[in-house]
Amino acid sequence: MIPIGVLTDSYKASHPFLYPPAKERVAYGEFRCSFERDLTDQRILFYGMRYIVEKYLERRWTQSDLEDSCSFFSTHNVGYGAYPFPRELFQRIIDEHDGWFPIKVTGLSEGEVIYPHTPVYTVTATEEFAGLVTWMETLLTMVWYPTTVATLSRRIRDLIEVAFHQSVELEMHYLLDSRLHDFGFRGCTCVEQAIIGGTAHLLSFTGTDTAAAAAHVQFHLNEGRPVGQSIPATEHSVMTAFGSEREAILQTMEQFGDGAFACVMDSYDYANALEVVLPTVIESFKLKSGGFMVLRPDSGDSLQAVLDALVAADRVFGSDVNSLGFKVLRGCGVVQGDGIDYNQIQRIIEGVLSSGYSAQNVVFGMGSNLLHKIHRDTMSFATKLSFVRDADGASRDVCKTPKTDVQKFSLPGLFSVKKNAIGVPMVHPLGQEPEGPELLQVYYDHGPVTLKRSFDDIRKTAMANWERLPKVADPISPALKEKIKLATANRH
Amino acid sequence: MIPIGVLTDSYKASHPFLYPPAKERVAYGEFRCSFERDLTDQRILFYGMRYIVEKYLERRWTQSDLEDSCSFFSTHNVGYGAYPFPRELFQRIIDEHDGWFPIKVTGLSEGEVIYPHTPVYTVTATEEFAGLVTWMETLLTMVWYPTTVATLSRRIRDLIEVAFHQSVELEMHYLLDSRLHDFGFRGCTCVEQAIIGGTAHLLSFTGTDTAAAAAHVQFHLNEGRPVGQSIPATEHSVMTAFGSEREAILQTMEQFGDGAFACVMDSYDYANALEVVLPTVIESFKLKSGGFMVLRPDSGDSLQAVLDALVAADRVFGSDVNSLGFKVLRGCGVVQGDGIDYNQIQRIIEGVLSSGYSAQNVVFGMGSNLLHKIHRDTMSFATKLSFVRDADGASRDVCKTPKTDVQKFSLPGLFSVKKNAIGVPMVHPLGQEPEGPELLQVYYDHGPVTLKRSFDDIRKTAMANWERLPKVADPISPALKEKIKLATANRH
């Protein structure tokens, strides 16, 4: 068990010694840019705050937490000397506050769709604990991850949806939910990451092999209702365990041939598997009704591999032309899970459609690119101080305005976030906001507050928000812009 | 609590239904290429196996684990239908094997330095459990992460070491240990990742702000002996909490000025902070002995920012020319933590040295690029089946040899890994290996085995191995090469 006192960057332990006395101090977190700086679609799908709050903030400090933390910091300075640790302050948390970390945290609801520079959380610390305002930054910042996965997954849904409108009949549009499948479990760094990232993907799709995330959503967030789905499928080790690929496929059909199942096809020679092996096994498969075979290429050029599979399947299984003029395979599909990212999906979809096949024939399996190859910098997340009420009671707005990188400015003051007429969450200086519900809700206030909302509900909200809102919007209100201009002019 | 049965990719649950009966089945894991395909330095620093084994394999299945897993899979198929789950098989694990997962796992010792295609672990499953041989692949594969961080961190040590040999006097070489500082906690996706990655970095350096990793190493892996170090340091929120930067720096000096401490310098105007603010605060600092001030730029071009700090510090603090002809600042240094990666470090070091300053003046703070911006593909990790003893007792070597991507071939047979005369771990077909100790050690055998080795010991081994071994070596023995050639010729 890691002592709670080390769940932060080391330097945070020195900050209570540095901050001047204050009556109140407020910090906030924001994404400073859109996904990979995309100026044509700046929407951000906010998700993942509750996990952090429940797992790490709703944990009381005990005397032994404090002793363990002191023990760690006692040799953490250079030369294994004593690193400053505010022991007395934490002793007061235990003695006078029942061990609850003495801050108030507000944040946007999960499923809100926002634009860069919208505060996603605020932390308020007061009086003797004002120096702890940024202690939790390290953990709270990690909301960058589920939000970035959720945003990427949702952007890909848009991409596939366009192809669905072109090439899939309306009554088959429900298939969109399963067209992006999470292959990312093993490409994660650890189980916790897989659970957090895999959960975020399930906001926009149902397809997942990250079973731990699907179980987490179902049993912890959704009152037992399942959200993730998969199908039985072979891996290379299964294919090569048989004397021949033919035997492996026949066994898979024997076991799972009355439903959907997938076979990986490149263990030895992909072209041979498609052109020689597949036709010889199909006769026995035709005996079963309800069967649906998914062919999985796993190497070579991804577009070519998909097209090869479609053409081979068309020859073996046959196809029908739908009312939009695109071919739909009979009882067969393709899943491409090698080298898949946003750009490859776009390229493959274009190739598939221009070859006359409907987008419904292809599922994309995305691994590291979905759950891992995104970074805190993908949407440039940061937490900064924004407001101080000094020891003498005077209030000051505070911000960072580095001349050397204007993109790294932070917002000054206290904030209110409210939706405008078309639903865009706008940031106002507190006190200058319009009527309407406040989007910054209390997540924690010197102890837990109730955070119960089903995943189904969050999915619905996320879906509706994303579809309703414009791709680009400026969330900073005119009054706040005025304050920023003043702050930038008055650099210290 | 996530049920143990969902700690794998969904499709694994279908594999016991597919694998043909066998007496024995063996799979292994390997890195298929060097760090970012670097052909000039192919060394890989293996680390992180014990964590996975202790956390996930040394956990007994209970009846309630089984019920929870069955419950999850009962609605995990397409349309929320029942997904195949081998209930009877797992019931036998609980009833007949005390709940221990029925496989044997061997692996290389942590701290071994290897080359691509060396098996880092093997999994053996026998008789009725032979179909579970790849069940644990998802979790075991995650060893890619600590090994990749360890390798990257160590490669950077080499880079800085070259500059030390050029510009740092021998008695100051101990400073090398702290020249790369882990700034990566908040750029991680979760706490578990930060602990695993931050630990791997500590194999080659002592500098870290990922306190959770430093505490994990100290208390769980190193019998209480500390390995990680940091220094008190400000953040932007601390700097902007004061009325002026001058006040913030004075307070930091007041609190920590008798030791090493760092101040971030770009909250408002970096040039002004260096040229105007710094000279005015230095008088009071000079009063304290033992003080060491570290200037932290955090925006702008990283090389220019470092050079500006060095020149400003030289003017204010002064410097001495060492015996190698390079300037060493008096009681001052620079830490650059913005936009740092391998290439930037190389560029900055070159710029610093060619400006006449010693490499000892500069510490690099590396965040996402150290702990997150690496992938399973960085060294292409994979697990594949390699050997089967069929139900009739006949033995077969097995491998994947996709025509469409020759880099994705896997090794056939059973393996022995032994060091050759110069210490390179060589892979031999089992039975054709030379004398000497076997490097594939037992990590788990149908239950826990003792895995006690101090982190200090692993560090020492890693350091010695890395320094002794050549940058490039071919670890495949001639006999194994012969087998691979045969297998590739006999594609099914």
Chain A residues inside the 8 Å CB shell of B298: 402
Amino acid, res. B43 = R
Chain B residues inside the 8 Å CB shell of A174: none
Q: Report how far residue B97's alpha carbon sits from residue B55's, in angstroms, rounded to the nearest whole number.
A: 19
- All domains of chain A, ordered by start, with CATH? 20-58+102-147+379-489 (3.20.140.10), 151-371 (3.20.20.70)
Say if residues A239 and A297 touch (Cβ distance below 8 Å): no
In sequence order, what are the residues at sequence separation of 6 or more whose Cβ sits closer than 8 angstroms to the Cβ of residue A377? B187, B368
Asked if residue A25 has pLDDT above 60, the reply is yes
Say if residues B402 and B492 touch (Cβ distance below 8 Å): no
Chain A residues inside the 8 Å CB shell of B15: 234-235, 237-238
Q: Residues of A236-258 as b/e, b for ≥16 C-beta within 10 angstroms?
A: bbbbbbbeebbebbbbbbeebbe
Q: Residues of A437-458 as b/e, b for ≥16 C-beta within 10 angstroms?
A: eebbbebbebeeeebeeebeeb
Amino acid, res. B428 = H
Asked if residue A275 has pLDDT above 80, the reply is yes
> Looking at residue A370, what is its pLDDT?
98
> Looking at residue B287, what is its pLDDT?
56
The tokens for A406 are 């204007």
- Mark yes or no for CB contact A398/B241 under 8 Å: yes
In sequence order, what are the residues at sequence separation of 6 or more whose Cβ sits closer than 8 angstroms to the Cβ of residue A301? none
- Mark yes or no for CB contact A244/B17 under 8 Å: no
From the list B331, B341, B337, B349, the residue with the least C-alpha distance to B294 is B331
Say if residues A371 and A194 touch (Cβ distance below 8 Å): yes
Give how far A19 is from chain B: nearest CA, Å. 6
Of the listed ranges A172-186, A436-450, B271-285, the least confidently predicted one is B271-285
- Mark yes or no for CB contact A238/B15 under 8 Å: yes
> Looking at residue A287, what is its pLDDT?
56
The H or E element that residue A140 is part of is helix A137-141
> Looking at residue A387, what is its pLDDT?
96
In sequence order, what are the residues at sequence separation of 6 or more whose Cβ sits closer than 8 angstroms to the Cβ of residue A38? none
Say if residues B184 and B371 touch (Cβ distance below 8 Å): yes
Q: Report how far residue A158's alpha carbon sits from residue A346's, in angstroms, rounded to the nearest whole number.
A: 11
Residue with tokens 């009882």: A331
From the list B239, B154, B144, B231, the residue with the least C-alpha distance to B196 is B144
Say if residues B23 and B127 touch (Cβ distance below 8 Å): yes
Query: Which residue from B minimizes the CA distance to A376?
Result: B187
- Mark yes or no for CB contact B403/A190 under 8 Å: no
Query: Which residue from B minimizes the CA distance to A70?
Result: B215
> Looking at residue A401, what is its pLDDT?
78
- Under the banding of pLDDT at 50, 70 and 90, the label for residue A445 is very high
CA B390 vs CA A236, A482, B484: distances in Å: 17, 76, 21
Say if residues B4 and A205 touch (Cβ distance below 8 Å): no
> Looking at residue B405, what is its pLDDT?
76
Identity of the residue in A75, A385, A401 whose CB atom sits nearest the CB atom of B237: A385
Kindly report, residue by residue over A111-123, the tens digit of the pLDDT.
999 999 999 999 9
CB pairs under 8 A between A and B: 382
Q: Does B21 touch chain A (CB under 8 A)?
A: no
Say if residues B411 and B398 touch (Cβ distance below 8 Å): no
More confident site: B243 or A341: A341
Q: Does B380 touch chain A (CB under 8 A)?
A: no
Q: Report how far residue B213's alpha carbon sits from residue B199's, in angstroms, rounded to the nearest whole number.
A: 5
> Looking at residue A286, what is its pLDDT?
65
Residues in B 115-144 with any Cβ partner in A closer than 8 A: 133-134, 137-139, 141-142
Give how far A347 is from chain B: nearest CA, Å. 19
ipTM of the complex model: 0.97
Q: Helix crossing, B455-468 with B144-167: angle to 10°? A: 60
Q: Does B470 touch chain A (CB under 8 A)?
A: no
Q: Does A10 touch chain B (CB under 8 A)?
A: yes
Amino acid, res. B195 = I
> Looking at residue B406, what is its pLDDT?
72
pLDDT along chain B (492 residues), means of 10: 89 97 97 98 98 95 95 97 97 96 98 98 97 96 98 98 98 98 98 98 98 97 97 94 92 94 94 94 74 95 97 96 98 96 98 98 98 98 94 91 78 97 97 97 96 94 98 97 86 54
Q: Does B402 touch chain A (CB under 8 A)?
A: yes
Residues in B 280-309 with any Cβ partner in A closer than 8 A: 297-300, 305
Q: Report how far residue A138's alpha carbon sits from residue A130's, in angstroms, rounded to the nearest whole number.
A: 17
How many other CB atoms are there within 10 angstroms of residue B174's CB atom?
10
The H or E element that residue B415 is part of is strand B415-419
More confident site: A405 or B198: B198
> Looking at residue A171, what is its pLDDT?
97
Chain B residues inside the 8 Å CB shell of A20: 241-242, 247, 251
Give how far B353 is from chain A: nearest CA, Å. 24
Identity of the residue in A20, A256, A405 whose CB atom sits nearest the CB atom of B242: A20
Q: Spell out the alpha helix ranges (H) of B80-143.
A: 87-96, 137-141
CA dihedral A307, A309, A314, A317 (to 10 degrees): -160
Q: Does A83 touch chain B (CB under 8 A)?
A: yes
What share of chain A has pLDDT > 90, as a percent? 91
Phi, psi of A110 (to 5 degrees): -70, 135
From the list A99, A104, A80, A83, the residue with the least C-alpha distance to A17 is A83
Residues in A 172-201 with any Cβ partner in B closer than 8 A: 178, 183, 185-193, 195-197
Say if residues B267 and B244 touch (Cβ distance below 8 Å): no
User: What rounded mean pLDDT belongs to chain A?
Assistant: 95
